Amino acid sequence: MNIQVTSDLSVSDLSIHSAGGRIVSDISLALGRGQPLTLLGESGSGKSLVAQAIMGNLPPELHATGHVMFKGADLLDESPTDPRRRWGRSIGLLPQEPWLALDPTMPVLPQVTEIHRYVKGRAAAESATAAKRNLSEVSLSSAEALYPFQISGGMGQRAAIAMAHAADSELLIADEPTKGLDTMLRDSVVARLREEVDSGRLLLTITHDVAVARALGGTIGVMLDGRLVEYGPAEKLFEAPEHAYTKALLSSEPSQWERRAPAASGGLVIAGRGLKKSYGGNPLFSDLDIEVSAGEIVSVLGPSGCGKTTIGNILLGLTSPDAGVVERTAGLSSLRFQKLYQDPPAAFAPHQTIRKALKDLARLHGKHWKVIEELQDRLRLPASLLDRLPGQISGGELQRFALLRALLLEPAFLFADEATSRLDPVSQMEVVTFLMEIVRETGLAVLMVTHDLHMAERISTRVVTLETGAAHAAMR
Contact 129, 167 (CB under 8 A): no
pLDDT computed for residue 82 by the predictor: 64
Q: What is the largest CA-CA distance in the chain?
A: 68
> Predicted confidence band at 2 (pLDDT cuts at 50, 70, 90)?
very low
Does the pLDDT value for residue 432 go beyond 50? yes
Distances (CA, A) of 156 to 165, 309, 411, 454: 14, 14, 29, 24
Mean pLDDT over all residues of the chain? 88
CB atoms within 10 A of CB 2: 8
List of residues 6+ apart from 132 with CB closer than 8 A: 109, 141, 144
pLDDT bracket for residue 160 (50, 70, 90): confident
3 has a pLDDT exceeding 50: no
Look at residue 83 in the predicted model and tell me its pLDDT: 62
Per-residue pLDDT at 5: 38
Res 1 pLDDT > 50: no
Query: Which residues face 445 on adjacent strands?
Result: 413
Angle between helices 354-365 and 395-408 (to 10 degrees): 10
pLDDT digits (tens, 9 = 90+) for 238-284: 999 999 999 999 888 888 898 989 999 999 999 999 999 988 778 88
| Three-state secondary structure of 379-397 | CCCCHHHCCCCHHHCCHHH
Q: What is the pLDDT of residues 198-227, one digit of tens each?
A: 988 899 999 988 989 999 999 999 999 999
SS3 415: strand
Question: How confident is the model at residue 475, as a pLDDT?
Answer: 38
- pLDDT for position 79: 67
Among the residue ranges 25-34, 108-117, 186-195, 406-415, the one predicted with the least confidence is: 186-195
Average pLDDT of the segment spanning 66-87: 79
Q: What is the pLDDT of residue 90?
A: 84
Q: Which tens digit of pLDDT belongs to each residue from 100-109?
A: 678 989 999 9
pLDDT of residue 84: 67
Q: Is residue 136 over pLDDT 60?
A: yes
pLDDT of residue 474: 42
**Alpha helices for 223-325 (secondary structure H):** 234-239, 244-251, 308-316
> What is the enclosing helix (H) or strand (E) of 283?
strand 282-293
Please, is 358 exposed, middle or buried when counting C-beta atoms within 10 Å of its C-beta (0-12, 13-18, 19+)? buried
Please say if the pLDDT value at position 337 is more than 50: yes
130 band by pLDDT with thresholds 50, 70 and 90: very high
Q: Is a pLDDT exceeding 90 seen at residue 129?
A: yes
- As beta bridge partners, residue 470 has 467
CB atoms within 10 A of CB 23: 16
